[in-house]
Structure 1
Amino acid sequence: MCRLLSGYIYNCAMFSLPIFVFFFASYSIYSADCLENGLARTPPMGWLAWERFRCNTDCKNDPDNCISENLFRTMSDILVAEGYAALGYNYINVDDCWLEKERNRYGQLVPDRQRFPRGMKSLADYVHSKGLKFGIYEDFGNYTCAGYPGVLGYLQTDAETFASWDVDYVKLDGCYAHPVEMDRGYPEFGFHLNRTGRPMIYSCSWPVYQIYAGMQPNFTSIIEHCNLWRNYDDIQDSWASVESIIDYYGNNQDVIVPNAGPGHWNDPDMI
């Protein structure tokens, strides 16, 4: 998973440089009859809200730091103005807590009407006007980790909704879902994303939830259906958290590294 005005910038080669905002350089694939979107030939890089801003929805008392369209417009401006976009950090990604608590009468997801009054299509248009790409968050479960509507039961509807909003990147978390069902569910949602005809990077949390449950993830299937995938814990707003993730990947690199390549990457949660 995964906030303004502080954090870290990293690229996947050096794990250093504390900077102004937190960026992620993520690390999965597609094959015939699978994802087959031709995306993520190199690890996607950009900015994701969770590490710094979490689920701050109090825009009345904390308007500059709450999850709102203003935050993501501001971060789009910063990526361009501060030169990060020119270096390849070109994704602006919304994480959890952007939704209303209920779907509309047609079963469609609805962005929070107070914090995203112009809607997600308008926000995507703004991000695209800056030469950037727009990412969004959902969850393969009944609810997101913060308790908002998940995609379970609405996989095709939500994939089509994201395409209609011109989304470029979809992160699918795994709270409130059975890990054993992920072997079927994550590929199914990727299938619906692919069928929309809109190129959308597909970021899965599939293996990390199975690892937590004591299961051995099927990475042969995962690399066929996801552009990138989570292996380990959420990052927190601390250097100790960054170190723990680096250590995990270093200690397990012999197992992890062979799964990565153009179009299919291990994701060390924004590092």
Structure 2
Amino acid sequence: MKKYFLLFSLFCFSCLSSVKAQKYEELAKTPPMGWNSWNKFACDINEEIIRGVADKMVESGLRDAGYVYLNLDDCWHGKRDSLGFITADPVKFPSGIKDLADYIHSKGLKIGIYSDAGRQTCGGRPGSLGHEYQDALTYAKWGIDYLKYDWCNTEDVNPIGAYNLMRDALRAAGRPILFSMCEWGNSKPWTWAKDTGHMWRTTGDIFNCFDCVDEHPGWKAFGVLQILDMQEGLRKYAGPGHWNDPDMLEVGNGQKVNQDRAHFSMWCMLAAPLILGNDIRNMSDETKAIIMNKDVIAIDQDTLGVQGLKVASQDGLEVWFKPLAGGDWAFCLLNRSNVDKEYEINWQKFNFDDEVSKRSTNFYNTTYVIKNLWTKKIEGSTKKDKKVSVPAQDVLLYRLSIAK
């Protein structure tokens, strides 16, 4: 009898493990959307700020637009207790992370947290090296929904082993937690991490500039266009449940409105996670109009889950296509230059077969209705060539829908 009971128990445990794994795999069917504290606040975060952001995510309509993850980045940590379990900074988060998670969940939002695969985080707080299973259990106990896992202070640590170890710890903890890998693309995680994380950083950090590089001793931060260029050749590795991550958004942090619009549009064309990095408690109407444009968000969140591709480039003007579910396409003209560009769209020049989606634009035999996603206006169809003017450091973004 004991033998059969043991076999039955093992069978039940196996089934339970499969259910947990299945839940884990079902996360991030479309690119995750939310907000992260780092770009605006860096280490200057506390309980009051995070609660205020949670309130505003609901009041502003961001939650209903799809931004559901509220993510604490670095510097929330206190010390480890006598058993090695991590605690929250008692000054910054006096109520504790569990209480904060309950509050965020009460708003219909999800909470994310941050750690590091090394001995210390980038901000000098305790990392997870040697405490992976303890930390995963703690996050599950607190009700965490998302983990951003950084790569500072990782001398002699193997990235594949480190990230797979934390993946296994998260799954064993029994709570579906989205796993965001922040390894900066050093080990080309797009080539190996499909079954490890739900998203992986493809570059170093972004910073609040449209077209420049921020030099530091031993490292660099990159502007929007520099990071965009680093995505070349990566689209075949992305898809539902596993996304290339070109880092968080800088929209609303002080760049010009046209630059913010181009930044947001191109991240949507990349099927990138849309993680806001501005102070959403104090947003301009222009910023709201950009990050809450449902038609543009729909390009990012399209269920086909295929990243866009650049098909032409000349004199600072780039032509991008992104295949969409139902036979539609997103079409984007990006003007990288500092002067307006006149351009005539000859649709027949863009007949091509996409290797990743196995789809064809087929302008020879298919007519598409053209909708401008920023003006919301229908601008004819692809039966005729189209003359346009693309403002400097801006975009024209269209949805091409098969004419009925």
TM range, smaller chain: 0.7 to 0.9
Contact kept, 8 Å, 2:228 with 2:246, in 1: the verdict is no
Match of 2:42 in 1: 54
State which drifts further: 239-248 or 168-177.
239-248
Match of 1:74 in 2: 52
Offset from partner CA, 1:77-96 (integer Å, 9 cap, x none): 11110111110011100000
Q: Percent identity?
A: 40
Contact kept, 8 Å, 1:35 with 1:191, in 2: the verdict is no
SS in 2 for 1:176: coil
Match of 1:133 in 2: 110
SS in 2 for 1:222: coil
SS in 2 for 1:255: coil
Paired residues for 1:178-217 under 5 Å: 178=155, 181-208=158-185, 211=186, 216-217=187-188
**CA–CA distance in 2 between the matches of 1:193 and 1:177?**
20
Residue 256 in structure 1 maps to residue 244 in structure 2? no
CA deviation after TM superposition for structure 1 residue 186, in Å? 0.5
Structure index of larger Rg: 2
Pair 125,35 (structure 1): closer, same or farther in 2 beyond 3 Å: closer
Paired residues for 1:1-271 under 5 Å: 36-56=24-44, 67-100=45-78, 102-178=79-155, 181-208=158-185, 211=186, 216-240=187-211, 244-271=222-249
Pair 185,244 (structure 1): closer, same or farther in 2 beyond 3 Å: closer
Offset from partner CA, 1:126-164 (integer Å, 9 cap, x none): 000000000000000000001000000001000000000
Gaps in structure 1 of 5+ consecutive residues: 1-32, 57-66
State which drifts further: 216-225 or 188-197.
216-225
**CA–CA distance in 2 between the matches of 1:240 and 1:110?**
40
State which drifts further: 239-248 or 199-208.
239-248
**CA–CA distance in 1 between the matches of 2:110 and 2:23?**
19
Pair 142,34 (structure 1): closer, same or farther in 2 beyond 3 Å: farther
**CA–CA distance in 2 between the matches of 1:35 and 1:149?**
29
CA deviation after TM superposition for structure 1 residue 226, in Å? 0.5
CA deviation after TM superposition for structure 1 residue 252, in Å? 3.8
What's the C-alpha RMSD, in Å, of the aligned pairs?
Answer: 2.3
CA deviation after TM superposition for structure 1 residue 270, in Å? 1.3
Contact kept, 8 Å, 2:147 with 2:177, in 1: the verdict is yes
SS in 2 for 1:137: strand
CA deviation after TM superposition for structure 1 residue 178, in Å? 3.1
**CA–CA distance in 1 between the matches of 2:115 and 2:102?**
20
CA deviation after TM superposition for structure 1 residue 221, in Å? 2.2
CA deviation after TM superposition for structure 1 residue 223, in Å? 1.4
CA deviation after TM superposition for structure 1 residue 256, in Å? 1.5
State which drifts further: 254-263 or 232-241.
232-241
Match of 1:7 in 2: none
Offset from partner CA, 1:71-121 (integer Å, 9 cap, x none): 110000111101111100111000001111x21111011100011011000
SS in 2 for 1:206: coil
Match of 2:257 in 1: none
From the two aligned structures, give the one with the greater strand fraction: 2
Contact kept, 8 Å, 2:34 with 2:67, in 1: the verdict is yes
TM-score by length of 2: 0.52
User: Aligned residues, how many?
Assistant: 223
**CA–CA distance in 2 between the matches of 1:179 and 1:118?**
36
CA deviation after TM superposition for structure 1 residue 244, in Å? 4.5
SS in 2 for 1:172: strand
Deviating 4+ runs (over 6 angstroms): none
Offset from partner CA, 1:20-63 (integer Å, 9 cap, x none): xxxxxxxxxxxxx899532000111111000000112xxxxxxx
Pair 268,218 (structure 1): closer, same or farther in 2 beyond 3 Å: closer
TM-score by length of 1: 0.76
Pair 34,138 (structure 1): closer, same or farther in 2 beyond 3 Å: farther
**Which of the pair has the greater relative contact order for Cα pairs under 8 Å at 6+ separation?**
1
What letter matches 1:231 in structure 2? T
Contact kept, 8 Å, 1:48 with 1:94, in 2: the verdict is yes
**CA–CA distance in 2 between the matches of 1:82 and 1:150?**
34
Pair 176,99 (structure 1): closer, same or farther in 2 beyond 3 Å: same
Pair 253,179 (structure 1): closer, same or farther in 2 beyond 3 Å: farther
**CA–CA distance in 2 between the matches of 1:241 and 1:268?**
16
SS in 2 for 1:167: coil
Contact kept, 8 Å, 1:141 with 1:152, in 2: the verdict is yes
SS in 2 for 1:185: helix
Contact kept, 8 Å, 1:34 with 1:187, in 2: the verdict is no
